[in-house]
Structure 1
Amino acid sequence: MSILQDTYRHKGLRKKLLELLRTKGITDEAVLTAMNNIPRHFFMDSALDNIAYEDRAFPIDADQTISQPYTVAYQTQLLQLKPNDKVLEIGTGSIYQATVLAELGTKVFTIERQKKLFDKTKQYIFKDKYPNLKFFYGDGFEGLPTFAPFDKVLITAAAPIIPPKLIAQLKTGGMMVIPLGEGETQQMLRLTKKADGSYSEELFENFSFVPMLKGKNA
């Protein structure tokens, strides 16, 4: 593996990307600052270096994707994160979204069902920088009951249903951001858990995600 470098060119391209995200409605400056601090090209194949800061998704291993920067910013903004929030992320993927969460000072517990992608987390280049980021191999529908309850839950795949076990692992007043739907597009929802265990729903824009699947894939 070649030594990764974050050059002035990369930093300039990141600033242009953040300007674009502002024009598209991202207003949370903490989220934008976090994304400015993280070299997205470190999480992608070096062959994509010249286009790493375009606002689009790219393929990674195991037929998954690194999400479009706008999608990352949008979901993160909806979570209304506070420092030290305990966040459960479903779908580690490239680790880029999890790194954004960690940069925001939250305690991140991220689950990946694809063994090939989970194994890559062992070589995570920012392991020392983000001791607040913990990786797990497992079924996202099951969550991490041992570490519950969580302040926030973020699902980064198209969920066919609202997973009841993940609702159960949310604190009262906690929020889940989830792209819901099985077709080509999903609607982004934000759920807020009530004291009686039920939840309120807020509906947002449509997006397109890879499907959230049950079980583990070795």
Structure 2
Amino acid sequence: MYHSLIKLFIYKALLNFSNNIFLKLIPKSHLSYLTFSKPINEAKICLFINPFLYNNCRKKIKKYLNKINMCPLNIDSHKDLLDSLKVRGVIEDDDVYNTMIQVDRGKYIKENPYADTPVYICQGVTISSPHMHALSLKQLMGVLKPGARAIDVGSGSGYLTVCMAMRTEVLKNKNSFVIGIERVKDVVDFSLENIKNDKPELLKLDNFKIIHKNIYKLSEEEKEMLGLFDAIHVGASASELPQVLVDLLAENGKLIIPLDEGYTQVLYEITKKNGKIIKDRLFEVCFVTLKKN
């Protein structure tokens, strides 16, 4: 009995010691995720967390998660999601924040809507990660203004298309025109239902549309009817820059598109100046494929 009490005392002392050490490490280590063994952002090493220790200090951990450069584990609102992206430095532009805050991601996907991860919809189609939506909007902010014409290719759930509509103020600016184009009929129906439940007033406008069409199958007549666009976003990776999108891009317009490069994909910003195309390589990404069929 005496020896058991001594062992218990030693164990408790060691646990308290490790607890204090761990709490001191949290703000310095910049954990990328918090489970029982996950890599640290900068050092790219693993910090092993005692599950009993985690239970004892999870409230303090949650407080630190909102301060350092990481995505919190449990986010249950759209505002908290955007605030976390702001803390992490993903959203640096107030225009991006003010645009995204108007469109609750929870209205466009039911499974893990506030997790910073892509979510599968159906038939090989996903809704992109919130950080990708934020970064894409950031690149387009210069041309995505009230009165602008914008097209979202591979519009999926309809989330980013509606963000574009909010940014261009289609409800009160009749010169604005926003269109989402999606090749999968079931996904088109899904997005229309989402918009109907969130912002049904958009579906009554002539300058906002969601259409079922493969961008590669646009005829010359259809391209002429659509006109030119100041902002084009593509939510799927193409093997090469589609000529149809170059044709639809207005002078000084911007096109954001992921392109295949060997075994990886790279997000590009395409600008048209004096009729010529300027390609700016941004960063590596991972998207579904922009299918021609």
Q: Indicate whether the TM-score tops 0.5.
A: yes
Counterpart contact for 2:181–2:211, Cα < 8 Å: yes
Distance in 2, matches of 1:183 and 1:32, equals 34
Q: What TM-score, normalized by structure 1, do the two folds share? A: 0.83
Give secondary structure in 1 for the equivalent of 2:136. helix
Instruction: Report what 1:120 is aligned to.
Output: 190
Unpaired runs of at least 5, structure 1: 1-10
* Cα shift at 1:33: 1.4
**Hey, what does 2:90 align to over in structure 1?**
25
Q: Highest Rg: 1 or 2?
A: 2
Identity fraction in percent: 28
> Is residue 249 of structure 2 the alignment partner of residue 170 of structure 1?
yes
Structure 1 counterpart of 2:259, one-letter code: L
1:4: which partner in 2? Answer: none
CA distance in 2, matches of 1:213, 1:182: 16
Matches within 5 A, 1:28-177: 28-45=93-110, 48=111, 51-80=112-141, 81-105=144-168, 106-123=176-193, 124-125=195-196, 126-129=199-202, 131=205, 132-142=207-217, 145=223, 146-177=225-256
For 2:261 and 2:291, the matched residues in 1 are separated by 11
Q: Which runs of 4+ in 1 moved over 4 A?
A: none
SS at match of 1:37: coil
Higher relative contact order (CA 8 A, sep 6+): 1
- Change in Cα spacing, 1:200 to 1:182, as seen in structure 2 (3 Å) is closer
Structure-1 separation of matches of 2:138 and 2:208 = 19
Question: Residue type of the partner of 1:21?
Answer: L
Higher relative helix content: 2
For the aligned residues, what is the CA RMSD? 2.0
Aligned length, in residue pairs: 200
Contact preservation (8 Å) 1:159, 1:182 = no
- Once the 2 structures are TM-superposed, how far is the Cα of residue 13 of structure 1 from its aligned partner? 2.5
SS at match of 1:205: strand
Listed one character per residue, the Cα deviations across residues 29-76 of structure 1 (whole Å, up to 9, x for unaligned) are: 12211211212111113xx2xx32111111112221111000001111
Of stretches 15-24 and 81-90 in structure 1, the one that deviates more from structure 2 is 15-24
Residues 183 and 112 of structure 1: CA distance in aligned 2, closer, same or farther (over 3 Å): farther
Distance 1:118 1:207 in 2: 24
Return the alpha-carbon distance in structure 2 between the equivalents of residues 18 and 192 of structure 1.
28
* Aligned partner of residue 215 in structure 2, secondary structure: coil
The letter for the 1-side match of 2:256 is V
